[in-house]
Amino acid sequence: MRTSTTLAVYTAGLVAVFGAALGVGAAIGSPTDMSTTSHSTESHSSSGSHSTHQSMPGVNAAAPAGLEISARGYTLDEIRAPGRAAEPGTLSFRILDADNAPVRHFDTLHEKKLHLIVVRSDTSQFRHVHPALADDGTWSIDWAWPTAGTYRVFADFAPTDGNQLTLGRNVDVAGELEPAPLPLQSTASTVDGYTVTLHGDLSVAGGPLTLSVARDGAPVTDLDPYLGAYGHLVALRTGDLAYLHVHPEGEPGDGVTAAGPDISFHAQAPSEGTYRLFLDFQHRGVVHTAEFTVPATTTAPSEKHDGGH
């Protein structure tokens, strides 16, 4: 039987389990820099199409994203949000430049100027949302934390005339908390009456991953375009929440990419370990999120998908 605990007890447990990798910040917006390592980026055009991964000169291409508050002259400023679970309010923040001035101009990446990923440290809660940008450079969105706990807030963006990068901060949310165990490893996920099956293996070497969507046992072949694609995949390394945001091969309307049931990706894990995968897809106007727990290996085993993806 799981026993509810207070946030104070849970936070102490996080320090013991995650140590410096996760850290524990202030109740609203941790100022702790989670890493001093730069990371590689994936370049995107303003139309939403993507090109191959590229590394900045002198940057360790293997270093993961999302572990830094500041990188390449940009900083994810303090996160302002409700302090307790289930308390309605606004989540807001700014991206600051090297002169500590708010950035006001961003390129469009998959139909949005910023993607905000919010995940609880045990990965039991996940949201992918898109706040609005005010003229003064403040991003904001109506917000209520679903549960208490420590959350990582990732901002995935590209300043105009800059490079795409992902910055992250911790936020501690007060209230009664029930720690959630890591879900068992599985290649199938059921959500809202849909079954999503994962084919392929996540690896450090990189390789194809195909996710197949079915409903009531029948393949779904009429997925809706969502943010310029038929699906979006986020991978998070358990423990430190190293971040990998992958977009699928092809795009709606290109004359080649089918609207399901398969959504194909090329993914490369930053290291071996256990990862949580979150697939956002849209069908009949509703967005659904399928979740997986998978291991990442050093080399990519041979594909097991009979469809040849």
Task: Tell me the pLDDT tens digit for each residue of 61-76.
Answer: 445 799 999 999 999 9
Give the bridge partners for 288, in sequence order.
Answer: 281
Range list of H helices, 85-166: none
Q: What angle do CA 299, 297, 23 make, to 5 degrees?
A: 135
The answer to whether residue 1 scores a pLDDT higher than 90 is no
For residue 204, give both structure tokens.
Answer: 């450090």
Mean pLDDT of 237-265: 93
Contact 109, 48 (CB under 8 A): yes
Residue in 185, 123, 127 with CA at minimum distance from that of residue 150? 123
Residue in 170, 200, 191, 153 with CA at minimum distance from that of residue 283? 191
What pTM did the predictor assign? 0.78
The answer to whether residue 234 scores a pLDDT higher than 70 is yes
* E strand map for 158-261: 165-173, 188-191, 194-200, 207-215, 218-219, 232-237, 243-246
Fill in the amino acid letter for 85. A
Contact 158, 54 (CB under 8 A): no
Which range has the worst mean pLDDT, 61-65, 213-217, 250-254? Answer: 61-65
Contact 141, 129 (CB under 8 A): yes
**CA gap 143, 17 in Å, rounded:** 28
Contact 44, 164 (CB under 8 A): yes
Mean pLDDT of 10-17: 37
Fill in the amino acid letter for 290. A
Give me the pLDDT at residue 246, please. 83
State whether residue 9 is helix, strand or coil.
helix
pLDDT digits (tens, 9 = 90+) for 72-101: 999 999 999 999 999 999 999 999 999 999
pLDDT digits (tens, 9 = 90+) for 153-177: 999 999 998 889 999 999 999 999 8
- Show the domains of the chain with their CATH numbers: 7-173 (2.60.40.10), 188-296 (2.60.40.10)
User: 298 falls in which pLDDT band (50, 70, 90)?
Assistant: confident
Give me the pLDDT at residue 64, please. 79
Residue with tokens 């080399």: 299
pLDDT digits (tens, 9 = 90+) for 131-145: 999 999 999 999 999
Give me the pLDDT at residue 260, please. 97
The answer to whether residue 53 scores a pLDDT higher than 60 is no
Mean pLDDT of 199-206: 94
**CA gap 114, 110 in Å, rounded:** 9
Residue in 238, 177, 235 with CA at minimum distance from that of residue 13? 177
Residue in 124, 170, 178, 145 with CA at minimum distance from that of residue 293? 124
**CA gap 22, 236 in Å, rounded:** 13
Give me the pLDDT at residue 301, please. 55
